[in-house]
Structure 1
Amino acid sequence: MKFYGALVLLLTVSTACGLRCYTCTTTDPKSCTTITDCVSPFNRCFSLNINGVITKGCQTSLLCVGNMQCCETDLCNSAIPTGPSVILLLVSSAIITLFI
């Protein structure tokens, strides 16, 4: 039971700290390593590819239109899977292994 409490606390703290996004303008999506804490009203991370030039950063949900790909979780605009999605995958695998 303590494990579930710690998991809930961890997820709550990560969301309370605000959204973090990769920010860059590059031709190689894997070279984008600068992380920015988004300020209000920016509530989405975005990635935009125009003629091979990739731009990533913070954006508002109202301006996520056209070819712009937007997402809502920390560091979700990466070319490499990172952040809470990987952690949740590992935690769920551990729980299944322990209880099954």
Structure 2
Amino acid sequence: MKLCGALIVLMTLSAAYGLRCYTCVNSSPSSCTQVLSCPTGFDRCSSVTASGYVTKSCMPSQLCISPIKCCSGDLCNGAIPTGPSVLLLLLSSAIITFFV
């Protein structure tokens, strides 16, 4: 029961603080680490890359058209993509499971 209460409090706090996105203008992808709390009406995190530079910010969903990439979770326009590391972790776990 205490766990349910804690989850409700955490969900309420995250909704009260709104969406958070990484933000930067014309920087290298690895240096874009500043976090911004999005203002009312800005319900997406955006990221656009041109000529090797990236611009990330909050954006209204109506403006999310190509080549702008948008997402809707907290910090979803991540500073550094983590996809390959997760794949390697799963692969190494599978190998260990089969051979140990």
User: TM-score, normalization: structure 2?
Assistant: 0.71
Partner of 1:28: 28
- Structure 2's unaligned 5+ residue stretches are 82-100
The aligned amino acid for 2:49 is N
Partner of 2:37: 37
Q: CA deviation at 1:30?
A: 2.2
Larger radius of gyration: 2
- Structure 1's unaligned 5+ residue stretches are 82-100
1:1-100 correspondence to structure 2 within 5 Å:
1-80=1-80
Instruction: Say whether the 8 Å CA contact 2:22–2:79 is kept in structure 1.
Output: no
- 1:45 & 1:20 partners in 2: Cα distance? 8
4+ residue segments displaced more than 6 Å: none
**Per the alignment, in what secondary structure is the counterpart of residue 23 of structure 1?**
strand
Judged with a 3 Å threshold, the aligned counterparts in structure 2 of structure 1 residues 18 and 36 are, in CA distance, closer, same or farther, namely same
Once the two structures are superposed, residues 28-64 of structure 1 have per-residue CA deviations (whole angstroms, 9 ceiling, x without a partner) of 3221111111112211110111121100001010000
- 1:51 & 1:18 partners in 2: Cα distance? 31
User: TM-score, normalization: structure 1?
Assistant: 0.71
- 1:37 & 1:79 partners in 2: Cα distance? 15
Aligned length: 81
* Percent identity for Structure 1 against Structure 2: 51
Q: CA deviation at 1:13?
A: 0.8
